[in-house]
Amino acid sequence: MATVISYVVSYLFVAITWINHHYLWRFVGPPTLGLLWINFVHLFMVSLLPFATAWIARTRLASSAVAFYAGLFVCIDIAYNVLEYRVLAHADAMRVSARIRRMARRRSLIVLASFTTAMPLAIVAPRFGFGLICGALILHLRPEVPGSRP
């Protein structure tokens, strides 16, 4: 069962990343070299997900595997937050209001805090740590923040 659950959560995360990535890139005109490199760092972190997923499945949600998984999500989310911040900082103010930027930033920080909390929680209660990771992913199911639709 751990194999199926870890696979589904990892796949859901990749789908969420893909959707949010495409949503975010609609605000980018011609991308800068710096923005592309930030994107490559983010994608590299995502590429480590199969390793972490296999470890969780093999160990059936062992605390060290779940803590590593949460740590990987922290790294991926930091890279995404940098990317999101840089994109929204350069987006046309007519397309992305200051309110929307603040809401996006708040959501990103809540998700990052959840992943960060899941790391030590996984050491003592791996299933709860894994559950916190799943709960944090729900916040990114819709790429736009509330009230951001044109």
Higher per-residue confidence, 129 vs 145: 129
The pLDDT tens digits for 109-139 are 999 999 999 999 999 999 999 999 999 988 8
The H-assigned helical ranges of 26-148 are 33-47, 49-59, 63-90, 98-124, 126-138
Contacts of 104 (CB under 8 A, 6+ apart): 84, 88, 145, 148
Residue 86 Cα to chain centre, angstroms: 16
**Rounded to 5°, angle at Cα 3 from 120 and 51:** 65
- Could you read off the pLDDT of 83-98 as tens digits, one per residue? 988 888 877 765 777 7
